[in-house]
Amino acid sequence: GAVVSQHPSRVICKSGTSVKIECRSLDFQATTMFWYRQFPKQSLMLMATSNEGSKATYEQGVEKDKFLINHASLTLSTLTVTSAHPEDSSFYICSATESVIYEQYFGPGTRLTVT
Amino acid sequence: AQSVSQHNHHVILSEAASLELGCNYSYGGTVNLFWYVQYPGQHLQLLLKYFSGDPLVKGIKGFEAEFIKSKFSFNLRKPSVQWSDTAEYFCAVNAGFQKLVFGTGTRLLVSP
């Protein structure tokens, strides 16, 4: 089956620094990747949709300058949390999909803790 | 805007009991419907999906769901749960552009 990986699985950073999270589709080409945020005991909230080679589309309320998304290839998307604050601490999950097939494959998530 | 509601936030069952988790969505057009499961410490996995055709969909691990268009519902069922079914279950709807809207999730605890 389709596999999506994320790196790192856990990261702790200091307030004010930036951290990059990678999302890779390992055995298929992902024309579209999605970034979600999951708060404890809550559902997944879509942050942005990224298509390879174009700018990401952000959901309402998500700061574009804070959460930088790059989808440079058909197998890699990155999310950079800039000038991190403790309130950015969360579980970030990516998913990927091939074109046409409306099924998303999810990565294992990245636990970000900002101190 | 689309929305998905899951009626039960927490469900506790004994092994061999039957399971039904409710899911209702609000969108008047054509939808694709999904149930995902998240086992403790693991990533989201697809249990089953409905795109078109037979409204009774069978998924992995003995799960099934029924799409009732008139009720805007897509309830998940399993005749006999096992301890290993302890997990969080998410209903999701896609009404175009591959964007999924998730419900708030239902935590299922199956006691042995």
How far apart are the C-alpha atoms of A91 and B45, rounded to whole Å? Answer: 16
What pLDDT, in 10s, does the model give residues A13-65?
999 999 999 999 998 898 899 999 998 777 889 999 998 888 899 999 999 99
B90, A44: Cβ pair inside 8 Å? yes
Mean predicted lDDT score pLDDT of chain B: 92
Positive or negative, the CA dihedral B63, B32, B6, A41 is positive
* Residues of chain B contacting A102 with CB distance shorter than 8 Å: 32, 51, 94, 98
Separation in Å, CA of A70 to nearest CA in chain B: 18
**Contact of A112 with A8, CB cutoff 8 Å:** no
What pLDDT, in 10s, does the model give residues B41-95?
888 999 999 988 999 999 999 999 999 999 999 999 999 999 999 999 999 998 6
A43, B51: Cβ pair inside 8 Å? no
Separation in Å, CA of B56 to nearest CA in chain A: 18
Q: Is B51 on the interface with A (CB under 8 A)?
A: yes
